[in-house]
Amino acid sequence: MRKAKLAIGAVVALAVVAAIAAWFLLDANRYRGQIEERLRAQLHRDVTLGDMRLRLYPLRLTIGGFKIADDPKFGGSVPFTEAESLDVSVRLGQLLRGDIVIESAELISPKLELIRDDKGVWNFASMGASEPAAPSSEPAGSGSSRAFALDKVTISGASVAVTDKTRRAPRIVYTPIDVSLTGYAPGRPFDFDIAAHIPGPTPGAVQVKGAGGPIPGAGPAAMPLKAQVTLTD
């Protein structure tokens, strides 16, 4: 009898996992176009997401690359940012209760292009510019109000290119840059660790480690920040 119960329990558990897997897979690929459109509306930039695949052990979603276009005023020939892949792992138990808790998110080899024009305006200034919020038609307790948290985010092998036309300086590429962020949740501070190599005649390195947040309604620019900076060579 006990073995029968265990077998039934195993079958039920497998069915639940299969159902969740199917839901994830459909939500990812079937509605990828809608997700792209929503991101375009929020960022005011063209966004392209790669193929999305579900992996069951551990439960995670892999996005085969993405691109965010640059502001057309800055030429737009090179993407503002792009990455080879994004791997996201979520907590199954929290997901079943309606909360989205990301255990880990890993971003592989992202590239970021920063440009400052002759008037001193950066190409990211227009990204996500705030607009009057439209009245929400969703009832209280809907998915838009669910909790969202990040246990850990890892960015490895990033490169940041900077072109500053106000200084008539040549384009400089900082790479590799590694970033680790832990313990993010709405209304709470989080820890971060950033390590970067500095190019030049005498190559060096910089590490910024500390805590930031919580992020206020005014945006990241007004976020409290406490950090230690370590310079090498």
Kindly report, residue by residue over 8-20, the tens digit of the pLDDT.
455 555 555 555 5
- Give the model's pLDDT for residue 24: 53
Average confidence score pLDDT of the chain: 75
| Confidence band of 193 (pLDDT split at 50, 70, 90) | very high
- Give the model's pLDDT for residue 126: 75
Is the pLDDT at 95 greater than 90? The verdict is no
Runs of H (alpha helix) within 26-131 = 32-43, 92-96
Is the pLDDT at 227 greater than 80? The verdict is yes
pLDDT (tens digit per residue) in 110-154: 898 989 898 888 887 777 555 444 444 444 333 443 445 678 888
- Asked if 202 and 227 touch (Cβ cutoff 8 Å), the reply is no
Closest CA to 230 of 204, 202, 206, 194: 206
The torsion angles phi and psi of 195, rounded to 5 degrees, stand at -125, 130
Higher pLDDT pick, 194 / 5: 194
| Confidence band of 218 (pLDDT split at 50, 70, 90) | low
- Give the model's pLDDT for residue 228: 94
Over residues 42-62, the mean pLDDT reads 78
- Give the model's pLDDT for residue 128: 58
